[in-house]
Amino acid sequence: MLKVGDKISIRPGLITRNQKTGNVQWREIESQITSLKADDNQLMYAVPGGLIGVGMKVDPFITRSDSLVGQIIGHPGLMPEVLSEIDVNYFLLKRLLGVKNQEKIVDGEKKSVNNKIAGLKPSEVLMINVGSQSLAGTVITVKKETVRIKF
Q: Where are the domains of the chain?
A: 2-74, 85-150
Give the separation between CA 142 and CA 140, rounded to whole angstroms.
7
Q: What is the DSSP letter of 57?
A: S
Residue-wise pLDDT tens digits, 58-101: 988 888 888 888 888 999 999 999 888 899 898 877 766 666 66
Please give the angle made by the CA atoms of 70, 73 and 76, to the nearest 5 degrees.
140
Question: How many beta carbons lie within 10 A of that of residue 46, not counting itself?
Answer: 20
Nearest to 87 by CA among 24, 150, 10: 150
What is the CATH number assigned to the segment(s) 85-150?
2.40.30.10
**Same fold: 2-74 with 85-150:** yes
| 44 vs 38: CA distance, rounded Å | 11
What's the mean per-residue pLDDT of the chain?
85
CA dihedral 128, 130, 82, 47 (to 10 degrees): 170
Question: Could you tell me which CATH number the domain at 2-74 has?
Answer: 2.40.30.10
Whether the model pTM is above 0.75: no
DSSP conformational letter for 65 = G
